[in-house]
Amino acid sequence: MTRKLLSLALSAGLSTIALAGAANAETRLVKQADVSENHIAFVYGGDIWVADRDGANPRQLTTRQAPEMMPHFSPDGETIAFSATYDGNTDVYTIPVSGGAPTRLTWHPGADVVSGWTPDGDNILFMSRREMTSGRSAQAWHVSASGGFPTKIMDAVVMDGRWDSDGEKLAYQPYNTAHRGASGWRNHRGGSTPPIWVLDPASGDWEEVPHENGSDTNPIWVGDDVYFLSDRSGMKNLWKYDSGDKSVEMVTNQETWDINWARAHGNDILFTTTAGDMVMFDTRRGRTRAVDVTLNPDSPEARPHWKNAMPNMTFAGLSPTGKRAVVTARGDVYTVPLDDGSTRNLTRSAGAKESTALWSPKGGEIAYLSDATRKNRVVITDQSGAELRSFDLGDDDYQLVTWSADGGKIIIGDNHLAVWSMDTATGALTKIYTDNRRSGVNVSLSPDGNWLAYTKARANYFNDVFLYSFADGSHTQLTDGMSHAASPAFSPDGKHLFFAASTNAGPTAVGLDMSTQERPIRFGLYAAVLAADGKSPLLPKAGDEAVKSDEEPAKKENGNGEKSDKKSEKKDEKATKVDLDGLTDRIVALPVAERSYRSLQVAHDGGLFFLEFPQPGGTIEPNGRNGGNVAKLMRFDFKAKKASKAMDRVTGYSLSADGKMVIVATPERALMTAKAAKDIKAKKLNTSDVKAFINPREEWAQIFDEAWRLEHQYFYAANMHGLDWDGVYEKYRPLVDHVATRADLNRLIVDMISELEVGHNRAGGGDLYRDAPVATGMLGADLRIVDGKYQVARIYDGENWNPFVKAPLAAPGIGVTEGDFIHAVNGAPVDGASNIFAHFANTVGKQVTLTVSTDGTETREVVVEPIGNERQLRHWAWVEGNRKAVEAATDGRVGYVYLPNTAGGGFTYFNRMFFAQSDKKAMIIDERQNGGGQAANYITDVLSRQYLSSWLDRDGLTFETPGGAVFGPKVMLIDQDAGSGGDFLPYSFKRMGIGKLIGKRTWGGLIGISANPRLIDGGFLTVPFFRFYTPEGEWRVENEGVAPDIDVTLDPTQVNAGVDVQLNRAIQEVLSELETYEPIKRHTPPALPTELGG
């Protein structure tokens, strides 16, 4: 029987690591360097350092453990502006080059990322998404070096930029690259290949630096020329744009490491490489020289320390009689007492990851997987952790699934869909079966260990239940293929095999399809009577007296504080009798309602436990509630012949081997234990001592090695696209010695996996240092300075039909209107010389008193509750603004639908907006900045519906089949920030001939993710493991994108004037198509019949 609660993490290899910054050793992984007349500044280990221009005399300028980044010298070289994530938020700060306390300049809850200074040194240039409707874009802002309210430079999007020496022209990168943040994608050639634009905001004149299909980034001025980084030649190098003759040339020739950052002062450019080397480039002579630094940092993140391991729990179960729980967490194996004894860490492994620990039903042994040798092996120990034996498994990734009752075999699954039986004495492996799809390992061992019940997927995406005989190696299909079966579970007496089966699962079977959204799936519960002479578990009991023998054997303790007898023990050891002939005909349905059931297990008394999950689409829970993955633990009682709730709010559970105890996981990641009885009285398991002693440097080495190994094990193409993956390891592995923070490690892993040059290849998260957050409250409004006072320029009123989006100033009764002034916050005066957001720190969800006025003189007080994020308010205002603009420009004939992604949000938006406008003659679908998710077949199916009929009711309007359809012209807006599912949607829209695509080429990423496990500290790695190809058998879209039929660039001058040229072009196109469109819906029925039978 399967006993596991959950299995979230598998394993990989390890190595050792030296101390970063060892004496007399050059320090690498330096990043974000800037240069002034006398100094260089750079980031190492999340801190800002300053040194002489040749790298000598380095000193640490910032000392807080929270990360600092993006240092930029003021024009006079006396001050450094930088961004820091203090108090859990990224804001703009300044600090003297000579040292001192940082001065905070921004307080907005959005990230404010420093990009430079104005040439006069009065203002700091930073990028912020604070007014954007999507996280994939930003805008350029100024904040005075002396403080005050930031001002937006322009509405056009800007990801990075610098002013020329006159402060009149901005050289900037208008949108993001594919290789950034957590995303590792070198040499991207899809739509996210930004150019460099040079704009004079005052005149509106702009030009594009000659651009090829590559990513041009990091523009910097040297005199009148613009230098920038580009990967157009393959390796990212420094290029020069001559503003006079408009020519472009490559001026460096890096061959091993990309240049990833550059800043200039005078005629010198200081750049850093992926390896964290600094190099000075003399633009006059065309020469480079290395700038080496040797640092000896404090590196507080690297200090060994104790850590609560439970947030990184990946697996839990019980000992055979439930006296202890076995828990896998943070790469170690623990046993935790339910009552007597202390918590034991059985492994205490430094720099290795143990996973999926199982307790032998015989009681004396514990097995787990370990990657201590950089290959997976099964380790079997006694209860104290002393190793008894171990067996190497090789390079593949594995999970231990269940242990036979006699202790002789362990069932193991691997990452290639194979399921194995391992002999626990010899380690010999026998392959039992290989699944056809990645649907998980769902197995159950018979009580005597002679049979394995398992599910296996067929070509129709349905699972069937099979029985495998260990005696002769035969496989027998139990279910008939006309249902989707799941979760087989043998009864403890070996007489029955229980399982769940659904006959309506077909529409939900392919989770990649959006058409599976909000589809209920109904499972029934079934029992197969295994022996030909066996009985249904539902048969009534006769109630007769049992005939006893003359001698009743004495009972003895069975190790669980209860009495047992040899007769019952001998009975338990009887062979499970399975008669294969006619087995399918002996399937009995249990009298339960069909609902979403999973995870069947049978208790010692025959009670059938299972989980009941909420049906998708049934409810929308308040923010913060994990509704979809939270179940009820149910128990079916065969005597009462009904199911009842045993426990609420459960995410997983497991029974002890004797079936008498249960351990339950909750959404809060707590573990609860109880007797497996009708009425569960659960007690929280004391896991306070599940702690790990972490040596970060050893753990970082293990994480790096595992990430490299998981890429090799899970990447969809076993040939790694011809890349020498061992060579990649040898190239990047030495840099682990220079890692000083977990964030450094993430950056290194991202750069390593980027060598594969594919999309969706990401790494991030993990045990990052985070300050305790101090959230800044927002009013859901645009503010501006008028006559030195704060004025409410616009109030965002949210959505009437979304109870979870609050608009603080729009609530009825508040009494604040656009044009009102704010004079004080909680009694503290505010004016244009101060930053009003500083007064909203730590106010989210709390009552705040605003002193306001209409004309700036007569004041009144109002009480509001600020919100933590106003992006949803701004987003919906933008969407509604577009819808109303389309409606106005087309006299109400054309509808507008926005799709933020192709997952749940996109499904909700489409249903909300499309069907409400299905009476329109034509439709504009806007998927710009679409975040992807699923293959949106549901949307294209609805958009391509064909008119079949109309129907006449005696009263009211006629109606059509299909209903909820628009049969007229349709166009789709796309752009470079739409990707993944946002690539597949326009691809299918175009392939199906639904309409034209307008805008810019999409991102171009159609290799899917989410098969491999998380890393030891909870960090994520998304290895691309399945790839799209066309019906013609061509690899398309990946690293290419979907091209528009009508190419339209978002002209920054038009954007600054409030004009959406792409939307306007869509309106123009759909109106043009409407001119020749002949409506096909018949609103007028034919004449009524005048004769019977007509």
Tell me the three state secondary structure of residue 691: strand
| Amino acid in the structure at residue 213 | N
pLDDT of residue 550: 61
509 secondary structure, DSSP code: S
Decide if 876 contacts 807 (C-beta within 8 A): no
Q: Summarize pLDDT for 69-106 with one digit per residue, the tens.
A: 999 999 999 999 999 999 999 999 999 999 999 999 99
Confidence of residue 544 (pLDDT cuts 50, 70, 90): confident
Is the model's pLDDT at 1038 over the cut of 90? yes
Residue 20 confidence (pLDDT): 38
pLDDT confidence band for 1 (50 / 70 / 90): very low
Q: Looking at 309-450, which runs of residues are DSSP E strands? A: 313-318, 324-329, 332-337, 344-345, 354-359, 365-370, 376-382, 387-394, 398-403, 409-414, 418-423, 429-434, 443-445
**Mutual orientation of helices 725-732 and 696-714 as an angle, nearest 10°?**
160
pLDDT value at position 549?
A: 62
Contact at 8 Å (CB) between 126 and 115?
yes
Cα–Cα distance, 1057 to 1061 (Å, whole number): 11
Q: What SS3 state is found at 653?
A: strand
For residues 115 and 125, what is the distance between their CA atoms, to the nearest angstrom?
A: 5
Tokens representing 915 are 């069907």
Amino acid at 453: A
- Contact between residue 779 and residue 598 where contact means Cβ atoms under 8 Å apart: no
* C-alpha–C-alpha distance, residues 888 and 880, integer Å: 12
Name the residue among 440, 441, 397 with its Cα closest to residue 11: 397
Are 723 and 755 spatial neighbours (Cβ–Cβ below 8 Å)? yes
**Euclidean distance between CA atoms 181 and 779, whole angstroms:** 29
**pTM for the predicted model, two decimal places:** 0.93
3-state class of 548 per DSSP?
Answer: coil
pLDDT for position 857: 82
CA distances from 97 to 54, 163, 218 (A): 17, 22, 24
Evaluate if residue 24 carries a pLDDT over 70.
no
Q: Cα 74–78–83 angle (5° rounding)?
A: 55
Report whether pLDDT(684) > 80: yes
Model pLDDT for residues 115-157, shown as the tens digit of each residue: 999 999 999 999 999 999 887 899 999 999 999 999 999 999 9
Report how far apart, in Å, the C-alpha atoms of 938 and of each of 366, 908, 928, 961 are. Answer: 48, 12, 18, 17
Can you list the positions of beta strands (E) in 945-1093? 949-951, 959-961, 970-974, 996-999, 1007-1008, 1020-1022, 1026-1027, 1046-1047
Q: What is the pLDDT of residues 302-320, one digit of tens each?
A: 999 999 999 999 999 999 9
Beta partners for 863? 849
Spell out a b/e string for 830-850, using b for 16 or more CB atoms within 10 Å of the CB, else e.
Answer: bbbeebbbbbbeebbeeebeb
CA distance between the termini of the chain: 66
Residue 814 has pLDDT above 80, yes or no: yes
pLDDT value at position 439? Answer: 87
Residue 734 vs residues 272, 476, 834, 986: alpha-carbon distances, Å: 17, 52, 48, 43
Question: What's the pLDDT at 555?
Answer: 52
**pLDDT of 551:** 56
* Residue 146 region by backbone torsions, left for phi larger than 0, else alpha for psi between -120 and 50, else beta: alpha
Distance CA 777, CA 792 (A): 16
Q: Give the pLDDT band of residue 542 (cuts 50, 70, 90).
A: confident
**Both tokens assigned to 394:** 């090789």
DSSP state of 1075: H
Of 334-338, 509-513, 699-703, the least confident: 509-513
Closest CA to 395 of 423, 411, 416: 416
Q: How confident is the model at residue 629 (pLDDT cuts 50, 70, 90)?
A: confident
Q: 3-state class of 470 per DSSP?
A: coil
- Give me the residue label for tokens 């290849």: 761
Q: What integer is the mean pLDDT of 416-443?
A: 97
Exposed / middle / buried, residue 662 (Cβ in 10 Å: 0-12, 13-18, 19+) = buried
Q: What is the mean pLDDT of residues 254-283?
A: 98
Give the pair of three-digit tokens for residue 956. 């009211």
From CA 542, how far away is CA 302, in angstroms rounded?
A: 70
The confidence band for 1010, taking pLDDT boundaries of 50, 70 and 90, is confident
Residue 611: closest CA among 636, 583, 581, 576: 636
Alpha-carbon distance of 784 to 796, in angstroms, equals 15
Binning pLDDT at 50, 70 and 90, where does residue 7 land? very low
Q: How confident is the model at residue 548 (pLDDT cuts 50, 70, 90)?
A: low
Q: How confident is the model at residue 4 (pLDDT cuts 50, 70, 90)?
A: very low
Closest CA to 874 of 974, 799, 977: 799
pLDDT tens digits for 841-871? 999 999 999 999 998 789 999 999 999 999 9
| 968 vs 16, higher pLDDT | 968
Query: What is the predicted pLDDT for the residue at 1083?
Result: 82
Q: What is the pLDDT of residue 80?
A: 99
* Domains of the chain with CATH codes: 31-298 (2.120.10.60), 696-764 (3.30.750.44), 781-867 (2.30.42.10), 872-1005+1041-1076 (3.90.226.10)
pLDDT score for 136: 84
In sequence order, what are the residues at sequence separation of 6 or more whose Cβ sits closer than 8 angstroms to the Cβ of residue 1078? Answer: none
At residue 853's C-alpha, the angle toward residues 851 and 858, to 5°, is 100
Q: In angstroms, rounded to a whole number, what is the distance separating the alpha carbons of residues 833 and 976?
A: 39
Q: What is the mean pLDDT of residues 357-375?
A: 96
**Half-sphere exposure (CA, 13 Å, Cβ side) for 786?**
16
Q: What is the mean pLDDT of residues 548-572?
A: 49
Residue 6 has pLDDT above 60, yes or no: no
Q: Can the peptide bond before residue 1031 be classed as cis, meaning omega within 30 degrees of 0?
A: no
Distance CA 965, CA 1010 (A): 34
Half-sphere exposure of 822 (CA within 13 A, CB side): 34
C-alpha to C-alpha distance for 269 and 286, rounded to whole angstroms = 11
- The amino acid occupying position 20 is A
* Mean local confidence (pLDDT), 970-990: 98
| Average pLDDT score over the chain | 93
pLDDT in tens, 449-473: 999 999 999 999 999 999 999 999 9
Q: From the CA atom positions of the chain, what is the Rg in Å?
A: 33
Q: How confident is the model at residue 22 (pLDDT cuts 50, 70, 90)?
A: very low
Q: Buried b vs exposed e over 348-373: b needs ≥16 C-beta within 10 Å?
A: ebbbbbbbbbbbbbebebbbbbbbbe
- Checking if the pLDDT of 200 tops 80, the result is yes
Q: How far apart are CA 877 and CA 810, in angstroms?
A: 13
Q: 1061-1076 and 871-889 helices cross at what angle (nearest 10)?
A: 40
- Torsion angle in degrees (nearest 10) through CA of 106, 111, 117, 121: 10
**% of the chain beyond a pLDDT of 90:** 89
If you write DSSP's letter for every residue of 173-228 in order, what string do you get?
E-S--SSBTTB--TT--SS-----EEE-TTT--EEE----SS-EEEEEEETTEEEE
- State the maximum Cα–Cα separation within the chain, in Å, rounded to a whole number: 112
Token readout for 150 is 């930031």
Of 811 and 628, the one with more pLDDT: 811
Per-residue CA distances from 347 to 159, 356, 369, 549, 800 (Å):
47, 13, 11, 50, 55
Q: What is the tens place of the pLDDT at every residue in 882-934?
A: 999 999 999 999 999 999 999 999 999 999 999 999 999 999 999 999 999 99
